[in-house]
Amino acid sequence: MAKAELGDAGLNCSNRDIAARIAGLHVLFVLPDVGDAPCGGYKMVYEYANRFTALGVHVEIAYLCTHRGRHKAARYHLPEWLRRLGAYLISEHILRHTPSWFPLSPAVRQTCIYDEEARLTDTDAIVATAINTAAFVSSQPAPILAYFIQGYENWGEVTDEEVNASYHLGMRNIVITHWLERIVNSAAPEAGCTYVPNGIDFSVFYQTQPIAGRGHRVAMLYHHGPHKGSRYGIATLRMLKARYPDLEATLFGTPERPADLPLWIRYVRSASQEQLRAIYNAAAIYLYPTITEGLGLTCVEAMACGAALAVSDYEAAHEFAEQGETALLSPVRDAEAMAENVAHYLDDEALRCRIAAQGMARAHTFDWDASVAKFLDVLTREEKETCSKTTVTVLPTTGGVNVNYSWSALHMAA
């Protein structure tokens, strides 16, 4: 594989200096578990793994499989040795085919970890990628320990206090949005963090169909997690179908097709990247009703393919969504307001085309070269160096940005 070169990423430290520091570098990413369903957080790790490898960095991915099968073992009173054997056989079988949905470089070695007390040696930098990998990574003897924070993971039974505590584990905190940057700097001011935005692969997600003339077609990600707000999106689509009988909708996701999903809605399970590109390019509008999210990667992918964005006003949306310019925003959990925004697009082709074109331009600011250079800088710089350190004013994490939802104001601006 030919080595890539670090482009001009606009860092305060020279990229020539970073290139010298990564010579012979060995990086290990630790993911929560092995699995083969498309996932945005895993996708970003795979992207970095590929791009680091192209620069000559030795990259490994380890899956923390220590909890696999634990609940079933308890239910059936299985002995510990049998649980461990089952976890090993299942994980190793899945690992042979992982990931089927992403072209991970064969140069990236993958392995599973089955012992919570394991010590990972012979590596320069270890990167935790989720809260349930943070404590494990923080106990490792590697010279550099980092924490790749892609969301505020207070989901399920995880409390805010537990999430905030994970930022104090002595690792180099890396965040993907300014919203997370404010949270981490507020929760752990002594630790701080570095902002490294995600990138988009424009060789995969690009416009293949004209923005104009896409008809009454809407696309949406489906996820069974309540924080993703899919039920509000489906409610929005039901309202719109009653108003626009010719409306076509395509949902995609990793779960099986929801039993209560209307038959007129097409559903694509575990879509490949090529299928996603086709879905985005066929859509006039991309609907994103999430309640909370680390970023909203599919929004940026859809924007790059020319779909106009109708999105809920969650915290991280403002990384890419500007009301009336690159998106139409509506309050979270408000299906009626979201339906009105989609209707504005469907009734005003000029508005939709203008916002879609501006959204496409905004999507192209998510530059992989800059993100890779900055991530590598975090992994290789001495602690005393501050070239990528960001000092921010701590802001409330719940108020977000004030948005004017007035359609009359937007219509006049258009």
Residue 244: name the closest of 223, 271, 264 by CA: 264
pLDDT of res. 94: 75
Checking phi first, is residue 266 left (phi over 0); if not, alpha (psi -120 to 50) or beta? beta
pLDDT of res. 67: 64
Residue 142: name the closest of 60, 69, 37, 259 by CA: 60
- Which CATH code for domain 217-365? 3.40.50.2000
Number of H helices, E strands in the chain: 14, 13
Of all residues in the chain, the percent with pLDDT exceeding 70 is 84
Report how far residue 330's alpha carbon sits from residue 314's, in angstroms, rounded to the nearest whole number.
9
pLDDT of res. 1: 46
pLDDT of res. 383: 67
The residues facing 110 across adjacent strands are 61
Query: Looking at the predicted structure, is the pLDDT value of residue 10 above 60?
Result: no
Q: For strands 26-31 and 125-128, give the pairing.
A: parallel
Token pair for 48: 């970095």
The residues facing 50 across adjacent strands are none
Checking phi first, is residue 365 left (phi over 0); if not, alpha (psi -120 to 50) or beta? alpha
Find tokens 């206090």 and name the residue.
Answer: 161
With beta carbons less than 8 A apart as the criterion, state whether 15 and 47 touch.
Answer: no
Residue 248: name the closest of 276, 220, 277 by CA: 220
pLDDT digits (tens, 9 = 90+) for 304-333: 999 999 999 998 999 999 999 999 999 999
Mean pLDDT across the chain: 86
Query: Looking at the predicted structure, is the pLDDT value of residue 7 above 70?
Result: no
Find tokens 């039901």 and name the residue.
Answer: 238
Report how far residue 147's alpha carbon sits from residue 133's, in angstroms, rounded to the nearest whole number.
9
C-alpha of 312 from chain center? 16
pLDDT of res. 357: 98
Token pair for 264: 């007129």
pLDDT of res. 9: 43
Instruction: Label residue 42 by pLDDT band (50, 70, 90).
Output: very high
The residue type found at 268 is V
Instruction: Label residue 401 by pLDDT band (50, 70, 90).
Output: very low
Report how far residue 301's alpha carbon sits from residue 199's, in angstroms, rounded to the nearest whole number.
10
Positive or negative torsion for Cα 329, 333, 337, 340: positive
Highest mean pLDDT among 272-276, 346-350, 365-369: 346-350
- pLDDT: is 66 or 268 the higher one? 268
The residue type found at 58 is H
- pLDDT: is 109 or 13 the higher one? 109
- Which CATH code for domain 15-199+367-380? 3.40.50.2000
CATH 3.40.50.2000, the chain: domain bounds: 15-199+367-380, 217-365
pLDDT of res. 406: 40
Positive or negative torsion for Cα 236, 238, 244, 246: positive
Question: In 3-state terms, what secondary structure has residue 236?
Answer: helix
With beta carbons less than 8 A apart as the criterion, state whether 134 and 30 touch.
Answer: no
